[in-house]
A and B are shown apart, each in its own frame.
Chain A
Amino acid sequence: MTAALSIRGLGKDFGRFTALNDVSFDVPAGSLFGLLGPNGAGKTTLFSIAAGFLKASRGSIETLGVDVREISKLHGRFSMLPQDAAFQGGIPVIDQLVMFARLNGFERAEAEGKAMEALELVGLGEAARRNARALSHGMMKRVALCQAFLGSPEVMLLDEPTAGLDPENARGIRELVREMRGDRTVMVSSHNLREIQDLCDHAAILHEGKLEVCASMEELTSKGFLVRITLSEPLPPAAAADLRAIPQVTVLEQTSPTDFNLELDLDSSDQKDAILKVINKCLIADHDLVPRSLNEGASLETRFLEITGGTYDGSSSS
């Protein structure tokens, strides 16, 4: 596995407060990598060090083999969506994007083309000449995202890319990120665990400045894989007993007479379909029950809460 980002023994102190402590992990090249953690876990601090905004107190980060202290040597091969960074008020967004593209190495005419292309990619082609102060929060977020897409960077860090966006825009951004799979390395931080689970193939969980786990999504979700089932009638005790008898079922929790969750312990995600068939057979063929819905539960959430001790509040990030 080639690492696009390599983080070693990373630490950051703000006075007496330690925001990151001895964090080490690799982000595989070409992966969509999720960075998770409750408020104050150190996600934004880690992103900020990786981009050179903050100086590390200890340890190192290399992006595409280049030390973070020389990050600008990557000249457009690396980009980031920083959280809460402002654009120059009173200046059209296109002018600011052209300046960024020129710093990425493009000549003026080419930079104008790249800036327009990136604006259209996030659906803001018509707002190009509008000044930054006149844009809504959601539009500014998309402009910020657009600067990250300038010039097809190989590595992108997206800090809460869908926070503050309406559902339609958020879905659009998720689609954009999904399309990058394989071509680029994208590291995303988000409080939306479902989003990370759907989008990413790898993830790391930070808690109180320390790395708790870093693994492929398959490894993270195969243990404690959750299935939510709704039946047309209450689950009879005999059916419940049969379900519990399936070796991979570790927990059966009834949330209402007709709704219940099954927590499964899978060796690999390949096993998922086979187990679902067994469950369906047990309900339909053996007990003549009709599942009205059968959904995969947020098993990453289960894992996350297990690790962080249930401190996830789903609001802002650190």
Chain B
Amino acid sequence: MSDGTNARHVKIVGSYWMRFSLRTGGGLTALLLALVTGLGVAQAFITPVENLMKEAPKLGHSEGEAADSIATIAESNEIAGALKWITGLGESEIEYLVTDQPALLSVIWIFLLAFIPFLTVLSAFNQTAGDIGNKGLRYLLLRTERSNIYLGRSVGTLLFSTGSLLLLLGLVLVYVGLKLKLYPFGDLASSGMHGFLALFFLSLPYIAMCGWFSAMFESAFGSLAICLLVTGFPILGLKMVNWATESDLAWMEQLTPWGWKYDLLSGDMGARLLAYGVMLGFTAVFLVLGMRQFQKRDL
């Protein structure tokens, strides 16, 4: 990190970047997409449960009986098997998610974890690329060190992305808590915190990675394209390589944040802390690479 890094300047650049993001088309689009996608995912799981709860009185069951039935379905072997197949987690981990934690929320968090990298890319791909292209960074360069601009933009993006995440999770929790009344407040709060931390830690390396690519390009579109390609590679690219070579390269997923995402929801504190640590490690590596790129390039 450069000697000229100045916390006040990082704060100024970061806070203005977040505010400017909220007031410009790009930021608002990213926020809207995050909410639409996130709430869409949540709705896909909430609607059947909501319908079941609505129909229960007509079938002569109380809300409590309906809730018990939902819990029984959630703990069934079929649901556990499906979640195991999706996440690759062990049986005890799945049991933790569907019995110790509110099952409905756990399922929503699991699916959101698969979407968060892409939603993060949409809010983080243009940290510097567009302003390198239109030379807008030059007004900042006259006043502060490159490291302050880079870190400030990263922090601003993180705040924006975290704000979007909190808004999304808040809406889901309020809806599930007030409308469905399936789970006690304590369970909702615990699962909400668990889910938030998982999604937050998963978004960190993607913000840092987007910052790195954004510092390489002079076009926001170029940065977006490469960020999406790299984020999607473990999902599509590795599967295609696996298929073409008939070899099992699934272990390579572990070389990317994607391969660790479900460990962020683990019931085992050790495994969860390790996953948090891995995310921070990826973030640090991408941050250093991005900072070096930004420091040495012509702007």
- Is B60 on the interface with A (CB-CB < 8 A)? no
- State how many residues of chain A have any CB contact under 8 Å with chain B: 31
B137 CB, min distance to chain A CBs, angstroms: 8
Using known A-B contacts A53-B299, A72-B4, A90-B25, determine if residue A85 contacts B143 with beta carbons closer than 8 Å. Answer: no
Query: Which residue of A51, A55, A89, A102 is within 8 Å of B296 (Cβ)?
Result: A55
- Is B135 on the interface with A (CB-CB < 8 A)? yes
Pair A102/B12 contact, Cβ less than 8 Å: yes
Query: Which residue of A55, A80, A88 is within 8 Å of B20 (Cβ)?
Result: A88
- Is A246 on the interface with B (CB-CB < 8 A)? no
Q: Given the complex of chains A and B, what is the CA–CA distance between A86 and B136 in angstroms?
A: 5
Q: Given the complex of chains A and B, what is the CA–CA distance between A96 and B13 in angstroms?
A: 11
- State how many residues of chain B have any CB contact under 8 Å with chain A: 25
- Is A260 on the interface with B (CB-CB < 8 A)? no
Give per-residue flags for B182-217: 1 if the beta carbon is below 8 A from chain A beta carbons, else 0. Answer: 000000000000000000000000000000000000
Pair B142/A78 contact, Cβ less than 8 Å: yes
Give per-residue flags for A70-98: 1 if the beta carbon is below 8 A from chain B beta carbons, else 0. Answer: 11110110111010111111110001100
- Is B84 on the interface with A (CB-CB < 8 A)? no
Pair B141/A91 contact, Cβ less than 8 Å: no
A249 CB, min distance to chain B CBs, angstroms: 48
Query: Which residue of A78, A82, A95, A103 is within 8 Å of B138 (Cβ)?
Result: A82
Provide the residues of chain A in CB contact with B9, threshold 8 Å. Answer: 103
Pair A86/B143 contact, Cβ less than 8 Å: no
A287 CB, min distance to chain B CBs, angstroms: 59
Using known A-B contacts A86-B134, A90-B24, determine if residue A100 contacts B141 with beta carbons closer than 8 Å. Answer: no
Provide the residues of chain B in CB contact with A73, threshold 8 Å. Answer: 4
Pair A51/B24 contact, Cβ less than 8 Å: no
- Is A147 on the interface with B (CB-CB < 8 A)? yes
Q: Secondary structure at chain B's binding surface: helix, strand, loop or mixed?
A: helix
Q: Given the complex of chains A and B, what is the CA–CA distance between A88 and B296 in angstroms?
A: 24
Report the nearest B residue to A103, measured CB to CB. B143
Q: Given the complex of chains A and B, what is the CA–CA distance between A52 and B149 in angstroms?
A: 14
- Is B78 on the interface with A (CB-CB < 8 A)? no
Pair B134/A51 contact, Cβ less than 8 Å: no
Pair A89/B24 contact, Cβ less than 8 Å: yes
Pair B136/A85 contact, Cβ less than 8 Å: yes
Pair B142/A79 contact, Cβ less than 8 Å: yes
Query: Which residue of B24, B25, B144, B299 is within 8 Å of A72 (Cβ)?
Result: B144
Provide the residues of chain B in CB contact with A78, threshold 8 Å. Answer: 142
24 contacts between A and B (CB under 8 A): A51-B138, A53-B138, A54-B299, A72-B142, A72-B143, A72-B144, A79-B142, A80-B138, A82-B135, A82-B139, A85-B134, A85-B136, A86-B135, A88-B20, A88-B24, A90-B23, A90-B24, A91-B23, A100-B140, A100-B143, A103-B140, A103-B143, A103-B144, A147-B139
Chain B positions near chain A (C-beta within 8 angstroms): 4, 9, 12-13, 16, 20, 23-25, 131, 134-136, 138-145, 148, 296, 298-299
